[in-house]
Structure 1
Amino acid sequence: KDYYKILGISRQATSATIRAAYRKLVRTWHPDRKPDHPKAEEIFLDIVEAYEVLMDEELRELYDQ
């Protein structure tokens, strides 16, 4: 998975940029906001996973290799 693409950010994104992108996307894709969208939960979970990896310096470094 391309976490940067999922969040719509560049590889040089700062933690503030990552956080802002995450917040915007979770508001849009939360399954409670899109109950009729068949992939809303899957997309939401991908967003959460991308955020968790990219916000953790060690995980992000491993991911970027």
Structure 2
Amino acid sequence: MADPYSILGVSKGADEKAIKIAYRKLAKELHPDKNKDNPKASDRFSEVTQAYDLLSDAKKRGQYDRG
């Protein structure tokens, strides 16, 4: 997986609120129901969701940040 921070467009020092806002904005734009004619949007939506799942969990985020 690519860098989850860059996928969501947030800095490494971003707080939970900023991460959530960035995720919701991207999820709204890329949701498969809104982009039925664009198959790449579904892949991108999945990538954004995976990045959010990682960064929204404090334990997983800490492990990622430590390498």
TM-score grouping bracket, smaller chain normalisation: over 0.9
Unaligned ranges ≥5, structure 1:
none
Post-superposition offset of 1:38: 2.3
Post-superposition offset of 1:36: 1.3
Alpha-carbon distance between aligned partners in 2 of 1:30 and 1:7, rounded to the nearest angstrom = 14
* 2:27 aligned with 1:26: yes
SS at match of 2:37: coil
Task: Give the 4+ runs in structure 1 shifted more than 6 A.
Answer: none
Alpha-carbon distance between aligned partners in 2 of 1:14 and 1:30, rounded to the nearest angstrom = 24
% identical aligned pairs: 43
| CA RMSD in angstroms, aligned pairs only | 0.7
Post-superposition offset of 1:41: 1.0
Count residues with an aligned counterpart.
65
So what's the TM-score if we normalise by structure 1? Answer: 0.94
Unaligned ranges ≥5, structure 2:
none
So what's the TM-score if we normalise by structure 2? Answer: 0.92
SS at match of 2:39: coil
SS at match of 1:39: helix
Alpha-carbon distance between aligned partners in 1 of 2:49 and 2:16, rounded to the nearest angstrom = 14
Post-superposition offset of 1:35: 1.1
Alpha-carbon distance between aligned partners in 2 of 1:39 and 1:62, rounded to the nearest angstrom = 29
Alpha-carbon distance between aligned partners in 1 of 2:64 and 2:46, rounded to the nearest angstrom = 18
